[in-house]
Amino acid sequence: MPVSLLDEVREMSKEFFKLPLEEKEKYSSKGDDLEGYGNTNAVQRGSLNWNDKLHLQVYPEEKRQLLCWPENPQHFRTTLHEYSKKNLMILRTLLKAMARSLNLEEERFLELWGDENEDNTHARFNFYPRCPMSDQVVGLKPHGDGTAITMLLQDKEVEGLQVVKDDRWFRVPVIPHALTILVGDQMEIASNGVFKSPTHKAVVNPQYDRMSLAMLFIPSLDKEIGPLEELINEERPQLYKRLKDYGQVYTQSIPSGKRPIDMMKIN
């Protein structure tokens, strides 16, 4: 991945969010689905998120809703297309490495995800305007991602991502030329709990705006996801149920305030 492409994506994303509201609203959600420009969906993430977002499906390509794809900045669409292609290549390398690390056949996770014609990939641009009372708002509330894998491009200078480990919050440092990989719930399920989907949140800075771009890799809705047989044994029984379309479980469990992945656990 050329470093210049990372910078270009960061730049164009900031440029987009700085446009006048009327201009951005041209790309607002059409109908009642997730896609398009807007504030973080209140039902999905609670009402107090200090976050502006632009949500676009990038794969399968025929599902792109180009009406929501900005034409301002001018190169937005072509750059996002380039960036998505590169991300998918990295995803495939990553999934192979993750399979090898568990002594699985290299293709094992790839069989579930990573097919640009079948699986769903969404780009979620986040923008967190600076906020003088930053300690009283949250950029994005604590959550786990419902994806298989999330590849996050963080702001080059402004830190904001925090992750829970052992019941404590840890700050994730900014590394300008790196992507941050987050394991999503569906990878936790498929790996029978070996890889954990971390609870994370984004905090807001009092002085500086911050952006991030999450590429969300989601299995096709008709693929069944469940713990891989090779990872179930006497010492480690099957810990999660099998299902299709985890997105539904995810949305349904939001009102309960519980983590969606908990609904998938076999007790």
Ligand X SMILES: O=C(O)CCC(=O)C(=O)O
Q: Which residues bind ligand X (CB under 6 A)?
A: 124, 126, 140, 145, 152, 154, 160-161, 200, 202, 212, 214
Helix 76-101 to helix 3-17 angle, to the nearest 10 degrees?
130
User: How many residues appear in the chain?
Assistant: 267
CB 161 within 8 A of CB 205: no
Are 140 and 49 spatial neighbours (Cβ–Cβ below 8 Å)?
Answer: yes
What is the smallest separation between the CB atom of 140 and ligand X, expressed in angstroms?
A: 5
Of 145 and 185, the one with the shorter C-beta distance to Fe ion is 145
Q: Residue 215's binding partner, choosing from ligand X, Fe ion, none, with beta-carbon cut-off 5 to 8 A by kind?
A: none
202 interacts with, out of ligand X, Fe ion, none, CB within 5 to 8 A per kind: ligand X
Least Å distance, CB 214 to ligand X, is: 4
Residues 19, 10: Cα–Cα separation, whole Å: 15
**Rounded distance, CA 85 to CA 142, Å?**
29
The dihedral built from the CA positions of residue 127, 131, 133 and 134, taken in this order, carries a sign that is positive
| Of residues 52 and 145, the one with the C-beta less far from Fe ion | 145
Which of the listed partners (ligand X, Fe ion, none) does 161 bind, with a CB threshold of 5 to 8 Å by partner kind?
ligand X
Please say which residue, 119 or 192, places its beta carbon nearer to ligand X.
119
| Residue 213, binding choice from ligand X, Fe ion, none, Cβ under 5 to 8 Å by partner class | none
The answer to whether the Cα torsion of 219, 225, 231, 235 is positive or negative is positive
Residue 252 burial (10 A CB sphere; 0-12, 13-18, 19+) = exposed
- Using rule CB under 5 A, residue 145 touches Fe ion: yes
CB of 256 to Fe ion, least distance (A): 19
**CA–CA gap between residue 174 and residue 211 (Å, rounded):** 12
> Nearer Cβ to ligand X, position 138 or 140?
140
Query: Which residue number, 96 or 124, has a Cβ lying nearer to ligand X?
Result: 124
Q: Which is nearer to Fe ion, 64 or 143 (CB)?
A: 143
Nearest approach in angstroms of CB 104 to ligand X is 27
- Beta-bridged to residue 214, according to DSSP, are 124, 152
The footprint of Fe ion (CB under 5 A) covers 145
